[in-house]
Structure 1
Amino acid sequence: MTNAYFAADLALPAPNPLYLRYQQMQADTQYSIHQHPWGQLSWISLGIMDLELEQQHLIAPANYLIWVPADIPHSAYVRQALNYTSIYVSDHLAQLLPKEACLLTSTPLIGALISDFGQRQLGHMQDQSDQNQAELLITRLSQCKSAPNFLPSSSDTLISPILKALQAGPDDARSLSSWASEVHSTERTLARRFQSELGMSFGQCRNRIRVLHALAWLKEGKTIQDIAWQLGYSTPSAFIAMFKQLIGFSPERYRQQQSPLTKS
């Protein structure tokens, strides 16, 4: 089946050099496979967004932007209700961004630039000042770290069962040595496999799985103490330290954040 553009996309004039669209998405929202005539940045407030590409699955918490170049087929899934900003990027500015779909790490300045557009509910750029702001945003994004995913997946026969078990039970505190016995391998071999297959250590991988669960539970209103216990931490402070290291600020601040779309 041919991958189609959305009718709303085809009705738009080209970004000048950006076009922003704002939407409040409901939980369990699914978008079937489609593509866009321009590169697209996806920015969410709280929550988690999943994008499925032909050979890639992007999972992004709210401190990342998802970048998908023009004409790349993808589908999307929103796990929980969230405020969403779609940013179409002109072909000229898109040349500054990666050639492949990826995650881009946000910064306070990037967040402020997007928030200003959102507070003004700006779609197309209205004047030279807006265009300058758009160019600054993309320039800053071009300088950010990119990653193929927040939580890489693997079909490796040793790594895959461990990932599945940790995703099903994020409180599982077994050591790498214990997992090595479980999958009939050695600790050294598993450590090498995690680095070669996922680009991170076993501990880093487990923390990312845990933080994705934490983001969902924070959205549901669970207390930080309950989340810490459900993730296998003996004290909330240990959980908070892990969360801050990966997300950049505390779980409570994450919960209290409000999208510009919901501010009075």
Structure 2
Amino acid sequence: MSLSELPFSAVDRALPPPAPLTFRYEQYQADTEFDWHRHPWGQLNRISLGLLELQLPQRVLVAPADYLVWIPAGVAHAAHIRQALDYVSVYVAHDAAAALPAEPCLIAQTPLIRALLDDFCQRGLDTVSDSWDVAQAQLLLHRLQQAGSVDDYLPDSDDRLLLPILLAMRAQPGDATTLAEWAQRVHSTERTLARRFAQLLGMSFVQWRSRLRLLQALGWLKQGRTVSDIAAELGYATPSAFIAMFVRQIGITPDRYRRQLLAEGGAA
């Protein structure tokens, strides 16, 4: 059976069709794996902390907790959840989903999007029926359309100016070379490089480097390296500066993240 022919799960078939949204809530333990599956409706994946890794037929989509992962209806995917967390699946009606991206992607949780979802989730809403909730759901969908999307948390580029910079930083995430210094090395200007980062990668040089360092830190934490060692090797002036970055992007401290990775049967 091909991935496009996978049957929908019994859980999905038991849910009411979204009108325009249906919510499903779960709590997952560390290192939870989901085999290949697909859904009858478009799906927004939301996690409370950490990282969500989705395997698509052609690529891997990695998302931290400040992003929603959008999977259009019928798209096969598998998932890996590294740490214990709360998970919300928001199914979107077909007519509403038509206004969202046609391919799997990440959608940033703006403050308003987060607030609207928090309200639904804190009330444990499963279906939308009250007129006020319908209006709130429509506003949420509108804001999701406006928020834009990205194909990858840490995108690449084969641009002749950016490629050598990205390769060098991937090889040495702790390199403290500034954008102005990179401009000299690639015979360009800081303004030109800043513009290309924004246009081709959808983020600034500093944002890209911060994401690179975060992903490297996650791997080193899993290997058992100390927070102090990781902070120093990644170029942070103090461990507290590294911890602040980590909490801002993942939602928990590095030590708590490591404990959850090592926990047997759930969070520490």
* Equivalence for 1:187: 186
Q: Structure 2: how far apart are the matches of 1:253 and 1:148?
A: 19
Matched, 1:41 2:47: no
* Equivalence for 1:165: 171
* Equivalence for 1:59: 62
Q: Structure 1: how far apart are the matches of 2:118 and 2:126?
A: 13
Contact 1:224/1:251 (8 A) holds in 2: no
Q: Aligned pair in 2 of structure 1 residues 43, 203: CA closer, same or farther (>3 Å)?
A: same
* Equivalence for 2:260: none
Residue by residue over 1:177-201, the C-alpha shift from the partner in whole angstroms, topping out at 9 and shown as x without a partner, is: 999xxxxxx7359x79x95975667
Consecutive unaligned residues of structure 2, counting only runs of 5 or more, are 254-268
SS of match in other structure, 1:19: strand
Q: Structure 2: how far apart are the matches of 1:24 and 1:232?
A: 35
* Equivalence for 1:2: 2
Q: Aligned pair in 2 of structure 1 residues 106, 214: CA closer, same or farther (>3 Å)?
A: farther
Q: Structure 1: which 4+ aligned runs deviate by more than 4 Å?
A: 153-164, 172-179, 194-204, 213-219, 222-227, 236-241
Q: Structure 1: how far apart are the matches of 2:208 and 2:11?
A: 39
Q: Alpha-carbon deviation of 1:146?
A: 1.0
* Equivalence for 1:255: 252
| Sequence identity (%) | 49
Q: Aligned pair in 2 of structure 1 residues 252, 97: CA closer, same or farther (>3 Å)?
A: closer
Q: Structure 1: how far apart are the matches of 2:203 and 2:114?
A: 27
Q: TM-score scaled by structure 1?
A: 0.72
Q: Structure 2: how far apart are the matches of 1:2 and 1:176?
A: 46
Q: Structure 2: how far apart are the matches of 1:44 and 1:91?
A: 23
Consecutive unaligned residues of structure 1, counting only runs of 5 or more, are 180-185, 257-264
Matches within 5 A, 1:92-111: 92-111=95-114
Contact 1:69/1:99 (8 A) holds in 2: yes
Contact 2:50/2:251 (8 A) holds in 1: no
Matched, 1:231 2:230: no
Which residue of 201, 205, 210 corresponds with 1:207? 210
Q: Alpha-carbon deviation of 1:224?
A: 7.6
Q: Alpha-carbon deviation of 1:118?
A: 1.4
Q: Alpha-carbon deviation of 1:153?
A: 5.0
* Equivalence for 1:261: none
Q: Alpha-carbon deviation of 1:14?
A: 0.9
Contact 1:40/1:89 (8 A) holds in 2: yes
Amino acid at match of 1:209: L
Aligned length: 238
SS of match in other structure, 1:141: helix
Mean Cα deviation higher: 28-37 or 39-48: 28-37
Q: Aligned pair in 2 of structure 1 residues 24, 174: CA closer, same or farther (>3 Å)?
A: same
Which residue of 111, 115, 119 corresponds with 2:118? 115
Matches within 5 A, 1:13-92: 13-92=16-95
Q: Aligned pair in 2 of structure 1 residues 127, 78: CA closer, same or farther (>3 Å)?
A: same
SS of match in other structure, 2:119: helix
Q: Structure 2: how far apart are the matches of 1:61 and 1:216?
A: 14
SS of match in other structure, 2:12: helix
* Equivalence for 1:138: 141
Contact 1:44/1:85 (8 A) holds in 2: yes
The Cα RMSD (Å) is 3.8
SS of match in other structure, 1:99: coil
